[in-house]
Structure 1
Amino acid sequence: MFSRIQDVAALVGRVAIGVVFLAHGLDKWETGIGGTADMVGSMGIPLPTVTAVFLIAVEVIGSILFIAGLALPLVGIGYAITGLGAVFYVHLDNGLLGEGGYELVLVLALAGLALGFNGGRLSIDHLVFGRKRAANKADAELQTA
């Protein structure tokens, strides 16, 4: 019973984090790679075009995968990189709290990272890889018995 609640909580968390990142990604998508590159370049972020492509890919494609529960660790790491970059390049001078503060960005990045490695059983990753792990574990137990 408790494990079902954990899985539902992980799903709800993944959907919430994924929707927030997706909303930011769709803004960048509409701005385009050039406009996003200009924006990040004006903030002093190196390799603005590469950064723009990375941001759009993580925040749009990654968010769709994250909500579905596919490639969770990879997307979680992408969220952490994206969020921590935003903390250090955009929000750090504004402090932790208040207008422009980094508290929300930090929480989103690290929650995405945590859910990337603990996405629950209601995910495609669990359906594909969780069953393989369980089968491998059962095989290993049979071999040691």
Structure 2
Amino acid sequence: MFGRVQDVAALLGRVAIAVVFLAHGLQKWDMGIGGTADMVGAAGVPLPTVTALFLMAVEVLGSIAFIAGFALPVVGIGYAISGLGALFFVHLDAGLTGQGGYELVLVLGLAGLALGFNGGRLSLDHLIFGRRRAAAGKADAAWQNA
């Protein structure tokens, strides 16, 4: 019973985090690669075009994958990079709280990272890879008992 509650909580957390990243990613999508590159370049981010492509991919495609529970660790690391980049390049001078503070990007990035490695059983990753791990564990146990 408690495991099901944990899985539903992880799913709800993944959806909430992904919706926020998706909203920001769609804003970047609307600005296009050039507009997004100009924005991140003005913030002092190195390689602005590469960064723009990375952010758009993580925040749009990654968010769709995160909701479905696919490639969770990869997307979680992408969220952490995105959040920490925003923290250091855009929000750090404003402090933790208040106008322009970094509390939101810190929480979003690190919650995405945590859920990326603990996304629950209601995910495609569990459906695809969880069964393989379970089968491998049974094979190892059978081999050790032989």
Q: State the TM bucket, normalised to the shorter chain.
A: over 0.9
Give 1:45's aligned residue: 45
Q: Distance in 1 between matches of 2:43 and 2:23?
A: 21
Map of 2:23 onto structure 1: 23
Q: Cα deviations across residues 4-28 of structure 1 (Å, max 9, x unaligned)? A: 0000000000000000000000000
Number of matched residues? 145
Residues in 1 aligned to 2:39 and 2:80: alpha-carbon distance in whole angstroms: 20
- Distance, in Å, in 2 between the alignment partners of 1:140 and 1:43 is 52
Aligned residue for 1:96?
A: 96
Q: Deviations over 1:38-83 (max 9, x none)?
A: 0001111100000000000000000000000000000000000000
Show CA shifts across 1:98-127 (max 9, x none). Answer: 110000110000000000000000000000
TM-score, normalization: structure 1? 0.99
How far 1:34 moved relative to its partner? 0.2
C-alpha deviation, 1:88, in angstroms:
0.1
Establish whether residue 133 from structure 1 lines up as the match of residue 133 from structure 2: yes
- TM-score with structure 2 length normalisation? 0.99
Please identify runs of 4+ aligned residues in structure 1 that moved more than 3 A.
Answer: none
Corresponding position of 1:114 = 114
* Structure 1 residue 74 corresponds to structure 2 residue 74: yes
